[in-house]
Structures are given as structure tokens and as C-alpha cells.
Amino acid sequence: MGVEIVEYHGIKYAEIIWASEKVEKTTFFSPAESSFQFGLLAHKAGFVEPPHFHKPVERTIADLQQMFVVQRGVVVVDLYGDDGSLLREIEMHAGDAIVLIHGVHAIRVLEDMQCISVKQGPYLGEAEDKVFVEVKK
């Protein structure tokens, strides 16, 4: 299945890297200007990256993207349009990864799951971080 961009009416809602995706060299799928970089690191045996650190650069980030990497179990990510209509149900299994870029989303756990979740901080608590919305059934 590879890499999939979920887009509706010219708006990118998510990027998915399915567990089956294989690359020969490190490949990032997000545009360079994206506030959240999403890709796969790949090197041949024997590769050594020299010791390094990343320069501190002040960045202004207006959006909050979130990434899930499924470690075990099965989870469905529901993506909703700005009008509250269900756009897509994405069933994910161990090894699958998704970046949620735009819009309302929800998760449903089909089999006990564990995911790595990564998003920009700082975390301000549920009251400041999340807006719960009514969606169309």
C-alpha cells in the first residue's frame, strides 16, 4: 500500500505510511515547509552517522499535528470534514503510521492497541488542547 495522502477538496487531512512501505534510503514524505516532518529512515548495514545535535531555531507553529504509530492491535482513525461529515475510516495495524494534519478526527479501538503518539508541545491540558465537536452520524 505504500504511502498515502488523504486529501479532500484540495485540503490535506492526513499522511499515512503503511507498514508495507520499504525505502532504500531515508525518505521524508512531508513537504519541507511542513511544521511536522514525516518519513522513514533507512541505511545499509555499516552506516554510521557522526555524533551531532540539532541547532536550536525558534519556530512559530500555528497548527498542531499528531502522529500515531501502531505498535500492536487494530485501531480505526475516523477523519471528518469541516462540516462534520465522515470523510474516511482508516483501519490501522501494527507498523502503520499516520500524521493527522487537518480537521476533526476520532479513534475507535477494534483490538487492544498500543500506539506511539507524537505531537508538538507543550501540552496545556485537555481543557486547552482539545475541542470536542458534534459530527454527522
pTM of the full predicted structure? 0.87
Give the bridge partners for 135, in sequence order. Answer: none
- For the chain, what percent of residues have pLDDT higher than 90? 66
Reported confidence tier of residue 1, pLDDT bands at 50, 70, 90: low
For the chain, which domains are there? 3-44+60-120 (2.60.120)
The pLDDT, as a whole number, for residue 33 is 86
Reported confidence tier of residue 10, pLDDT bands at 50, 70, 90: very high
* Count of H-run helices and E-run strands, the chain: 1, 8
Q: Which long-range contacts (CB under 8 A, 24 or more apart) does 124-133 make?
A: 129/64, 133/80, 133/84, 133/104
Summarised one tens digit per residue, pLDDT across range 44-99 is 999 999 999 999 999 888 888 999 999 999 999 999 998 889 999 999 999 999 99
